[in-house]
């Protein structure tokens, strides 16, 4: 009895899934004990050559996902609708679902999960975060007996490529983005990547899994992109032994009663394992109570790597089906709420263009103190009218830090706030 | 209905398992839907304080593993016997088994796996390789739909610590080992670590999972330790932009018809993600056909990280039990045989102390050519009687390379073979 797969969408990822299933059919069948077959592929238009058997194509996706001979539905069309309705119809018809749809999972994963649980089918989505890197399954299964305190991830290859070029070539943001676009690492409209929307969706998915809380959606994620990162920021980071990375950060609060989820540029010490993640690679760093520090690294995107993750999920569904079970995530929800960015504890790097006059540092230090922010170190660069004060704070609530910067930015002694960026520390 | 755990052994890992189960009982129960309880602990002697409830202790391990109320047996005593007999008795009695026993799995994993399959119970061993790093489950499950071509791993923390100290401090092997022993990173008898036995057992387990072949045992692993690595080797590596790492390498042959499994020191380019793995950390680099390059990084040893991996396995067993199933590895065996080290394709770095006379290089090059080995690059260091020729070969069968070195070592023009080490290349 073959395992029959219905595919929704036949773009970059979908066509690779078809190719891998066909090329490896013998090996896969031997490995899992039953063959996997593509039973049908729903597309919007039939008149395009997709390099797949045209007899498999249909424009009636609803009929395909409820077809009695279909065992598992693979959704790679993306977006909220019709993806959600089709997956819910499939689940209702008793089909397991494999999806790479981060936007939908981040916005409304709860609905899909509840439906899968009620129907006793599997819902797997390894490909939705960090492409081929096995990450969600380890978080869900291997670390199920541990307590995750923090997740730091480079989960968007485009922005990592752009920042890496800015760092290694001293290039500006626009120039680096154009190069990324020319090489196919960035899309013509790069908004979803460079403004952090893509990373924010993945951050929400990671937070839900890491902290076993269904409460986190993309809307709860504090999001800042990299369009404001300047060559001066990169140089300032370098002067401190840091690189700039766009990180997705999911963190349990000190009291353990809430979680913070955010995406923003960070100055990261070069000793940190994430600092050496180059080009468009992804990596996720996990801090767990017992397991300690873990890192998962690999290709975060691309048709073939993403298809590999989809295929891994299809195999898992098949094994469960053969064992006549579905091993889900469990209905348990810690219900941990998400706290505001203002309550999140962070550290700031602030570079201020100031007049090199007596009393400036004292005034600046006073403003930090007024907001309850303690200064970790300060250095002055240049002299006279070109003086720059570079300050790094100790950890403090983000609202106190942003309040400090706001006051500094309008103070007459400060000509310009040249650079503001959050800093992560790292102790080996 | 609580999930009852019988523990075999209560040393560093066992006592941490007990602590974690007790401390996180509420959280775990909520997360997986049923409580986990320690039902009994088999120890050799009752008269030692282990910080656990004495009422749980017993010296009758056989009675414990077959006790009707026990659901899962956790084996952390290590060694071949009585571990094997106890696990087989437990499996026969219908208990699932979680073990961290790399030596037994590498020597006779097949027997345990066959018994578990016949009994329809789970056999999990995430903690046996690379401690808390979720590695075996991703290899088995997430990459189940992919084809792994190569695995390169730093799987022994002790040797990585020693080599890291030699590299960063320019220290010698003995001195670095003594420091590792003083810090508890190396045992009083360091043989299992420094001679590569520990890494070889892990390499066998990795090869079995990565290539779906039951044929690999510890005895099939070509093994060289780090006792022969000198400060001169480290310096020579550095001159080439490399660091020295002890790697476990599992590799599919070019024709895909066999696998090679080996543990030996390697000169690794600093750009390779494994090169920056410091101190006693572990990391495993996987090259898969579709997923591309992946790396898994974290603490490879220690009571708490290892206990975290054990607990993850207990949770997996519990979820399967609640779903009334066991989701095993499948009986499929590609049966891929292991080829000899001599047939493995490698590259050599060779440093020769020679007299700086006309014709030496030509003679050396001739010896390489006679063995069918092509030279990638050569440089001369020093002059006159202190001259050293440093050669790096192109990839060739290891037997051709070792034959070349053997002939060089007895040639009158070569005063001494100062350093021989295999080299891995890396293209970003």
**Helical ranges in B24-82 per DSSP H:** 25-32, 61-66
Strands (DSSP E) contained in A43-119 are 57-58, 72-75, 96-99
A157-169 and A173-182 helices cross at what angle (nearest 10)?
120
B12 in contact with A, Cβ within 8 Å: no
Looking at residue A327, what is its pLDDT? 60
pLDDT at A33 over 90: no
Strands (DSSP E) contained in B47-199 are 57-58, 72-75, 96-99, 123-124, 148-154
The CA-atom distances, in angstroms, between B330 and each of A31, A173, A309, A322, B318 are: 7, 50, 20, 10, 19
Looking at residue B199, what is its pLDDT? 97
Calpha distance A367→A379 (Å, rounded): 17
Look up the ipTM and state it: 0.90
Which of A408, A344, A411, A412 shows the shortest CA–CA distance to A378? A408
A25-32 and A303-322 helices cross at what angle (nearest 10)?
40
Mean per-residue pLDDT over chain A, rounded:
92
Tell me how far apart the 2 most distant CA atoms of chain B are, in Å.
83
B270 in contact with A, Cβ within 8 Å: no
Q: Residue B218: CB partners within 8 Å, gap ≥ 6?
A: B103, B106, B107, B197, B200, B201, B204
**B396-397 and B345-354: which strand pairing?**
antiparallel
- The answer to whether B245 is annotated as binding is no
Calpha distance B249→B211 (Å, rounded): 13
The CA-atom distances, in angstroms, between A351 and each of A166, A366, A382, B334, B339 are: 19, 16, 12, 60, 60
Instruction: List CB contacts (< 8 A) between A428 and chain B.
Output: 278-279
CB-nearest partner of A297 from B32, B134, B297: B297
A398-409 and A360-370 helices cross at what angle (nearest 10)?
140
Q: Which domains does chain A have, with CATH numbers?
A: 3-131+303-322 (3.40.50.720), 145-299 (3.30.360.10), 343-423 (3.30.70.260)
Q: Measured between CA atoms, how close is B325 to chain A, in angstroms?
A: 6
Give me the DSSP letters along A119-158: HT--EE-GGGSSTTS--HHIIIIITTTS-EEEEEEE--HH
Task: Supply the Cα-derived Rg of chain A in whole angstroms.
Answer: 24
- Fill in the DSSP letter of residue A338: B
Calpha distance A275→A297 (Å, rounded): 12
Comparing A171 with B90, the larger pLDDT belongs to B90
CA A139 to chain centre: 14
- The answer to whether B263 is annotated as binding is no
Residue B20 tokens, joined: 């974690």
Residues 291-310, chain B: which have Cβ within 8 Å of A?
291-299, 302, 304-305, 307-310
Mean pLDDT of A197-206: 97
Per-residue pLDDT of chain B (428 residues; tens, 9 = 90+): 799 999 999 999 999 999 999 998 888 888 888 899 999 999 998 888 778 889 999 999 999 999 999 999 999 999 999 999 999 999 999 999 999 999 999 999 999 999 999 999 999 999 999 988 999 989 988 888 899 999 999 999 999 999 999 999 989 999 999 999 999 889 999 999 999 999 999 999 999 999 988 889 999 999 999 999 999 899 999 999 999 999 999 999 989 899 999 999 999 999 999 999 999 999 999 999 999 999 999 998 889 999 999 999 999 999 888 877 666 555 567 888 999 999 999 999 999 999 878 888 999 999 999 999 999 999 988 877 778 999 999 999 999 999 999 999 999 999 999 999 999 988 76
CB-nearest partner of B299 from A137, A212, A292: A292
Q: Residue A173: CB partners within 8 Å, gap ≥ 6?
A: A162, A166, A226, A227, A229, A230, A231
| Residue that the structure tokens 């659901």 belong to | B71
CB-nearest partner of B278 from A20, A212, A428: A428
């Amino acid at each position: 009895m073959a395992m029959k797969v219905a595919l929704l969408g036949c773009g970059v990822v979908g066509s690779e899934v078809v190719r891998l299933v066909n090329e490896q059919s013998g090996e896969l069948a031997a490995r899992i004990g039953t063959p996997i077959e593509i039973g049908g592929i729903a597309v919007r238009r039939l008149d395009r050559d997709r390099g797949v058997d045209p007899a498999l194509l249909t424009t009636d996706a609803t009929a395909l996902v409820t077809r009695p001979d279909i065992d598992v539905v693979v959704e790679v069309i993306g977006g909220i609708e019709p993806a959600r309705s089709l997956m819910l119809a499939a689940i209702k018809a008793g089909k397991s679902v494999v999806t790479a749809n981060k936007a939908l999972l981040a916005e409304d994963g709860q609905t899909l999960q509840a439906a899968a649980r009620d129907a006793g089918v599997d819902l797997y989505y390894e490909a939705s975060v960090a492409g081929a890197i096995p990450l969600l399954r380890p978080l869900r299964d291997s670390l199920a007996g541990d307590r995750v305190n923090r997740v730091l991830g480079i989960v968007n290859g485009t922005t990592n490529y752009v920042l890496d070029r800015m760092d290694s070539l001293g290039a500006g943001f626009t120039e680096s983005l154009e190069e990324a676009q020319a090489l196919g690492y960035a899309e013509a409209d790069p908004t979803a990547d460079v403004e952090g929307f893509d990373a924010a969706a993945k951050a929400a998915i990671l937070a839900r899994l890491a902290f076993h809380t269904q409460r986190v959606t993309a809307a709860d994620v504090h999001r800042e992109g990299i369009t404001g990162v300047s060559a001066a920021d990169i140089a300032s980071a370098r002067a401190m032994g840091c690189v700039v990375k766009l990180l997705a950060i999911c963190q349990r609060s000190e009291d353990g009663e809430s979680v913070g989820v955010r995406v923003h540029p960070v100055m990261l010490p070069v000793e940190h394992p994430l600092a050496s993640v180059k080009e468009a690679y992804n990596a996720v760093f996990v801090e767990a109570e017992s397991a300690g520090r873990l890192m998962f690294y690999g290709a975060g995107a691309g048709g073939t790597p993403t298809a590999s993750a989809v295929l891994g999920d299809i195999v898992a569904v098949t094994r469960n089906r053969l064992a006549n079970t579905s091993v889900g995530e469990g209905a348990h929800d810690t219900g941990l709420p998400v706290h505001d960015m203002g309550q999140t504890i962070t550290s700031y790097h602030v570079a201020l263009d100031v007049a090199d006059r007596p009393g400036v540092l004292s005034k600046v230090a006073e403003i930090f103190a007024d907001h309850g922010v303690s200064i970790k170190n300060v250095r002055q660069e240049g002299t006279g009218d070109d003086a720059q004060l570079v300050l790094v704070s100790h950890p403090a609530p983000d609202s106190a830090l942003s309040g400090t910067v706001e006051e500094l930015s309008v103070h007459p002694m400060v000509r310009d706030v040249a650079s503001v960026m959050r800093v992560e520390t790292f102790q080996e």
